Amino acid sequence: MTELKRVAIVGSARIPFARGGTAYADETNLSMLGTVLGGLADKYGLKGEKVDEVIAGAVINHSRDFNLAREALLDAGLSPRTPGTTMQIACGTSLQAALVLAGKIASGQIESGIAAGSDTVSDSPIVFGPKFQHRLLNANAAKTTGDKLKAFTKGFSFGELTPVAPSVNEPRTGLSMGQHCELMAKEWGITRQEQDALAVASHRNAAAAYDEGFHDDLLVQCAGLVRDNNVRADANMEKMATLKPAFDKASGHGTLTAGNSTPLTDGASGVLLASEDWAKARGLPILAYLTTGRVAGNDFAHGEGLLMAPTIAVSEMLERAGLGFADIDYFELHEAFAAQVLCTLKAWKDPAYCKDVLGRDSVLGEIDPTKINVKGSSLAYGHPFAATGARILGLTAKLLSTESRKRALISVCTAGGMGVAALVESAQ
């Protein structure tokens, strides 16, 4: 049996994230992803070079995006011999891409790979309803001009021209992610004050990371933007308290607001992974190692909590690795909503949940807050769905390379009731 190789995280690059409709209003998934891959190529001397595989994706897609990963890598100047695979697992897309590549590197199938993601709400596809869609298809299929005109006009009503707005609602429940998270917050007794405090901490940690220059070598300028435009160094509890509920506006008990929820965001990010031999042969750094991961799902349509699947993924991953929370130095928990993080933390120390849902005889335990998202996370930086996993993985690798700590845990919740988790270990 072939001995598994260690999977090195060489480094990462991302464009600054931007709130929807702002700096990247004229950008596309392809242009942003191409900029990121080009940035990685420049940073690590890969222009014209073959990388064994690029896996990338986007959650909000146009049909014109075609094979997004392949087109972006060609735009970025990688060798045309580099294959590109487009995949999507909602907000876990680029972290799952990294895990897929890591498995191939570890088993010796490939020596190098780039995991990436891109998403834009500023360039969301606007489509027509099925009746007008079929009318256009039938007209296109007609042979003669007269038949085309007949297919297009017969029974036509101007109501068919009403566009179908993009929807973020879960198809199995009809509820948005925010509405689902409101239900979770109520179930777990998460207060508005707790959520606001977590959001303020995220912004302050992110702002401090900028001040200390942590992001200087992680960002690639795009469309004139040089830093994330959602980070608020002046975030405070007083300002947070003025915001009204965003998802439960009628009951008088809503706790999720625009301040303690991630904004709709545009952006892209990528991470370069490799075998140790490949990296060393090119004189490239090894910041950290991606050691293992886990993907899980739950029965959210029947009450398990849409964004609670990371509790399962983390539990199963740690059990297989023979580790516990005491073995983890940093916890990078994606902040889709402050309430999601807080529900997760509460579940891991709840005996009934750990027994009934996680199948554990004892609780996973409590996590020291000073170990969580020490450089800020999605509430501050923003959340371009498919790009978030690579942002977190790149940040985590750099964090471990600059600190005398051994191990970090990553957790990302996704739409569709899934969660993606990973473990990263220091190369020092």
Give catalytic residue positions: 91, 383, 413
Please list, residue by residue across 73-101, b when 16 or more beta carbons sit within 10 angstroms of its beta carbon and e when fewer do.
bbebebeeebbbbbbbbbbbbbbbbbbbb
For residue 214, which of 376, 387, 361, 64 has the smallest C-alpha distance? 376
Residue 329 has phi, psi (to 5 degrees) of -90, -35
Q: Are strands 84-86 and 54-57 parallel, antiparallel or unpaired?
A: parallel
For residue 306, which of 411, 189, 415 has the smallest C-alpha distance? 415
Single-letter code of the amino acid located at 10: V
Name residue 420's beta-bridge partners. 295, 412
- Which residues have C-beta within 8 Å of that of residue 7, sequence separation ≥ 6? 102, 105, 106, 273, 274, 275, 289, 290, 291
State the Cα torsion 90-94-95-100 to the nearest 10°.
110
Find where tokens 């042969």 sit.
Answer: 281
Distance CA 45, CA 57 (A): 23
How buried is 103 (Cβ within 10 angstroms: 0-12 exposed, 13-18 middle, 19+ buried)?
middle
Name residue 208's beta-bridge partners. none
